[in-house]
A = this chain, B = another copy of it.
Amino acid sequence: MPSESTVRRPTLTEVAALAGVSLKTASRALNREPNVAPSTGRRVQDAADSLGYRLNGIARELRRGATSALVGLVSGDLANPFYSAVASGIERELRQHGLLLITANNDEDADLERSLVDAFLERRVRALLVIPSGDDHEYLAIEGNRGVPFVFLDRPPDGLAADAVLIDNAGGARSAGEHLLAGGHRRIAMVADLARMAPQRGRIDGFVSAMKSSGNTAWEPYLRTDVHDVRHAERTVRDLLLLETPPTAIFTTNNRLTTGALRALRDVVRPPALVGFDDFDLADVLGTTVVAHDMSAIGREAARLAYERISGHTGPARTIVISTSLIARGSGERST
């Protein structure tokens, strides 16, 4: 067996030559265009098969209008189930329209994000979906007018008008607050992520508004923000429990923080009540009460919006808000 390791790919010209027809006829035959004599078609097909010909999508795209069948997604690390659930929803929807998904991880770094967006735009993606890390998206405004649809996920665009799919953060957090209040809790801790990020601000606001409406102020000493990872959350919750008068309930504002809290509470004899924002695998087994929302729907809806723009839809920017629902599983119903 000859070991021709790296063989150049045959071009259509070579296929045509082998079949004894012109380049254009070979093109027509392989694209199954009408008006190709059956015998010619067969000859071309055979030639292509025997050479192992495969169409060069790059050349085709250039000729057809310099725009690819790719849609880009810039998000955080796919190892985070939130991002991967969203990505999964996007991919599923795109596939129905013959589009492929390119993903890139911004590592929560605004500069990296920008350069990834650049890379995607150079690759002429048909649309760009972003779960932005940076705050300022104004640099995208020029692009938005250049025919590349943008869709923002989870975080609203700032500095430009663009489609967005958001979660009802304030509503979800309010329901968590109200749920705990209804359970008789007053000293309710809130452990939140970076307050500069819009979703977190929404959740903080929603929770605070629930407290305000009820006239409760006992929660105030227990607000912890800018808790950014699992370890930090675990430490924060431990510290809360060590206070002279510890909180009787805790609200964590995303899946990572909930994980940290669960670790901290693992061996606590009389753990405080816990409600977490974002549902997660095995929350049912753990009996963790959460504010759930449909993550794959976020991706699906975003992909749908993008596809509509790709298909020519024009019109003002739209915002879809995904609703939340509180799922009581026990941890949020522990009494004071």
Contact = CB atoms under 8 A, between A and B. Distances in A.
Contacts of A121: 54
A92 B77 CA distance: 9
A88 B105 contact: yes
A229 to B, nearest CB: 14
Interface string A254-277: 000001001100100000000000
A87 interface: yes
A205 to B, nearest CB: 28
Contacts of A266: 284-285
B262 A285 contact: yes
Interface string A1-37: 0001111110000000000000000000000000000
Interface string A125-152: 0000000000000000011011100000
A54 B122 contact: yes
Nearest to A70: B102
A122 B57 contact: yes
Nearest to A67: B58
Interface residues of A, number: 61
Contacts of A57: 122-124
A104 B101 contact: yes
Interface in A234-283: 259, 262-263, 266, 280-282
Given A119-B100, A123-B100, A147-B5, A87 B78 contact: yes
A81 interface: yes
Contact of A146 (B9, B88, B282): B9
A45 interface: no
A142 B51 CA distance: 10
Given A62-B58, A79-B296, A84-B81, A52 B142 contact: yes
Given A57-B123, A58-B66, A146 B286 contact: no
Interface in A80-107: 81, 84-85, 87-88, 91-92, 95, 100-105
A55 interface: yes
Contacts of A81: 81, 84, 281
A8 to B, nearest CB: 8
A8 B56 CA distance: 24
Given A7-B147, A281-B280, A103 B123 contact: no
A68 interface: yes
A259 B284 CA distance: 10
A21 to B, nearest CB: 22
- Residue with the highest number of chain B CB atoms closer than 10 Å, among A124, A259, A280: A124
Smallest CB-CB A-B distances: 4 pairs: A84-B84, A57-B122, A79-B88, A6-B147
